[in-house]
Each structure stands twice: as structure tokens, then as C-alpha cells.
Amino acid sequence: MKKIIIAIDGHSSCGKSTLAKALAKTLHYAYLDSGAMYRAVTLYFLNTGADYHDGAQVEEALRHISIHFERVDGHNHTFLNDVDVERDIREMRVSEHVSPVAAISAVRRAMVKQQQAMGKRRGIVADGRDIGTVVFPDAELKIFLTADSDVRASRRHLELAAKGIDASWDDILRNLEERDHIDSTREDSPLKKADDAVVIDNTLLSEEEQHARALGLARGRIAEINEA
């Protein structure tokens, strides 16, 4: 049975990772959280005090950054230089800086290279901003996910609260609108819908409805690829 690549792109906090994880679990595919990689790079800058506006410091930092994923208690965790940073990378201080860091071409080049290596054998669900346009332009299924920003802020608020991370709803809304703006207008690999992506607006969809719709699309593509 041939496996496919599923690329899920879209705005901040619209449930890309929830959908990607659910699809990966159902299909027994690997899950690649590309945003976690940009968050880990950002955390490195914040923790070391290196200045990400300085090209030489960025190059130097990238030489000292190694990111990998591991399963911890059944969940996908991000490791930065062998330290589990899964919790730290979700904090607001990282969210405040991640979009400018992700706009740096040298950072993108390094991350995209690693992401493409992870997709070599296919059988992967990846979520991010440039997965269907730059990382895997030949992905067999591309989904572009979106939702109203108020609904996204409320969902993020609940998600952070569940993790014990305190952040105000207003700050969350401001941050996600700001990130959407930077991510969509940057020069290198801006967030945009790939021409061949299917749009899912999940403002009024439950997780189950969204999962069922995406799974239907995935199974259809897998069948087509295997019949060809």
C-alpha cells in the first residue's frame, strides 16, 4: 500500500495540529509539527540572548541548534538540543517572537531541509504555513484550514488554560492576528493557499466533523494513488 503526504496549512490557532494528529493516528502515519521547530529556534534565541536581527548570530545559533521529536507518554514532544521543550515552546513569550524568527530565510532553509528529510518515505501528516507550497509541493493531499479569529482565540485560551498556561483572551487574539499578518506578508514562503489545496473553514465544525471530512479526502487520495 503506497503512502501519501498530507499537508495542512492555515492561520494561527485554527486547529491544524489537532486535525494533523488525528489523521496521523487514524492512518498510522507520522506527524510533523513544523511550527514546533520554529518555536524551538525562537526559544533558543530567547534563552541564550542571541540577537535574531543579526545575520551572523543567526548563522552561529543555527550551528548549535538540533531539534528532534520523541513520543513521551503517547504524545509528540519537541526536543531542543536533547532537552524536552514541549511546554516552554507554547508559552506566550515564544508566541510573541516566533513570527519574526520564522520570517528569517536562513532559519527557514535549515528547517525546511530537515522537514523534507522527514517526509522522504511519505506516510506523513505535516502542518504549518508553507507545507503545501514549499516543503512538500508534491503532497498528494493539501488542506488549507481557517476559522474566524474570535473562535480561534477562544479555543487557544482553553487549550493554554488546560496546560496551566495563563494568558488573557485579548492578548491571545492580538497575538494570533499579528502572527497571521506577519506570516502572510513575509517575503520568504508566505502563508498562502496552494492552488490545489482544499479549503476547510472549521468555525462551525466540531473536531469530529472536521476529522471525518479530512479523512474522507485522505482515503480518497490514498485509493487513487494505489489504483494508479
* β-sheet bridge partners, residue 30: 124
Q: Is 98 a residue that touches ligand DC (CB under 6 A)? A: yes
Q: Is 99 a residue that touches ligand DC (CB under 6 A)? A: yes
Near ligand DC in 26-45, by CB under 6 A: 34-35, 38-39
Q: Is 129 a residue that touches ligand DC (CB under 6 A)? A: yes
Q: Is 102 a residue that touches ligand DC (CB under 6 A)? A: yes
Instruction: Draw the binding track, 40-79, toward ligand DC (x: CB under 6 A; -: no contact).
Output: ----------------------------------------
Q: Is 179 a residue that touches ligand DC (CB under 6 A)? A: yes
Return the number of the residue (135 or 222) whose C-beta is nearest ligand DC: 135
For residue 31, give Cα distances in angstroms to 59, 70, 119, 122. Answer: 28, 11, 10, 11
Cell of 43: 526559544
Please state the separation of Cα 84 from the chain's center in Å. Answer: 18
Phi, psi of 206 (to 5 degrees): -80, 165
| CA atoms of 164 and 155, how far apart (whole Å) | 14
- What is the end-to-end Cα distance of the chain in Å, rounded? 12
Q: Is 15 a residue that touches ligand DC (CB under 6 A)? A: no
Residues that bind ligand DC (CB under 6 A): 12, 34-35, 38-39, 98-99, 102, 128-131, 179, 183
